[in-house]
Amino acid sequence: MLRKLGMIVLALFGVVALAGAGKPLPARSVGNWNATVVRTPIDSHLLGNPNAKVKLVEYISYTCPHCAHFEQESDAQLRIGLIATGKGSIEVRSFVRDGIDMTVALLTHCGAPNRFFANHNAFLRSQQTWIAPVMTATEAQKARWYNGPLPSRTRAIASDLHLYDIMEKRGYSRAETDRCLADTALAGRLAKHTQEAVDNDYVNGTPSFVLNGVPLAGTYSWAALKPQLEAALD
């Protein structure tokens, strides 16, 4: 089913999947690893020591309630026990399931790489609030979400779900937010990367994790992930 999902997303957005973004930014050799962020050639973001012993990849969908719950439970513990020590890194990859997911993913990528994780946290932590209007949206609203050029669709979603308000609180102007919502090249790449995750990393739900290159079967929560991280750090 997820194999079809990636193709549906590609078709839905009517964009061509392009090659990965440019070279990642150089990592800091010393200092606060919690302030070290690298944007990778596959449009993911890596937090921490890029040469760490333990490398955790997270596949996240912004409309997934389990992903929001995982972020709230794990973020502080991961930053203290994994990232700060330099022994571990976290790489977040967007897994886009529909137009709302794509809209939020584009907004988390808005701005310099070092802004990503704060954007990411802001949308996951407020998910219950901004996703609530979906339940009462009219057919006319939904038609605006899924018809027409990408920028008009994403802006309609951002307006109806009050995502502009979140971005304004994060320091983004309306013009900056609109530019990010109109990034058809990035949207194409994110859809392509989602399909690759299904094909290559066996992602069958979110959140999903890859630890040191090995997909973690049956691991969808902090309670299930934590002992595996601790074993890897030993």
| Model pLDDT for residues 94-105, shown as the tens digit of each residue | 999 999 999 999
Per-residue pLDDT at 6: 43
Task: Indicate whether 168 belongs to any domain.
Answer: no
Domain that holds residue 110: 2-128+187-233
Number of domains in the chain: 1
Stated pTM of the model: 0.87
Task: Indicate whether 26 belongs to any domain.
Answer: yes
Distance CA 211, CA 228 (A): 9
Task: Indicate whether 116 belongs to any domain.
Answer: yes
CATH of the domain at 12: 3.40.30.10
Which letter, b or e, does each residue of 20-52 get, where b requires 16 or more Cβ atoms within 10 Å of its Cβ? ebeebbeeeeeeebeebbbbbebbbbbbbbbeb
Task: Indicate whether 97 belongs to any domain.
Answer: yes
Q: Is the pLDDT of residue 123 over 50?
A: yes
Task: Indicate whether 169 belongs to any domain.
Answer: no
Task: Indicate whether 56 belongs to any domain.
Answer: yes
Distance CA 27, CA 212 (A): 19
Name the burial class of residue 200, with classes exposed (0-12), middle (13-18) and buried (19+) by CB atoms within 10 angstroms of its CB.
exposed
How big is the chain by its Cα radius of gyration, in Å? 17
User: What stretches of 109-148 show up as alpha helix (H) in DSSP?
Assistant: 116-125, 127-131, 139-146
Task: Indicate whether 8 belongs to any domain.
Answer: yes
Task: Indicate whether 136 belongs to any domain.
Answer: no
Q: What is the pLDDT of residues 17-58, one digit of tens each?
A: 333 344 444 444 456 899 999 999 999 999 999 999 999 999
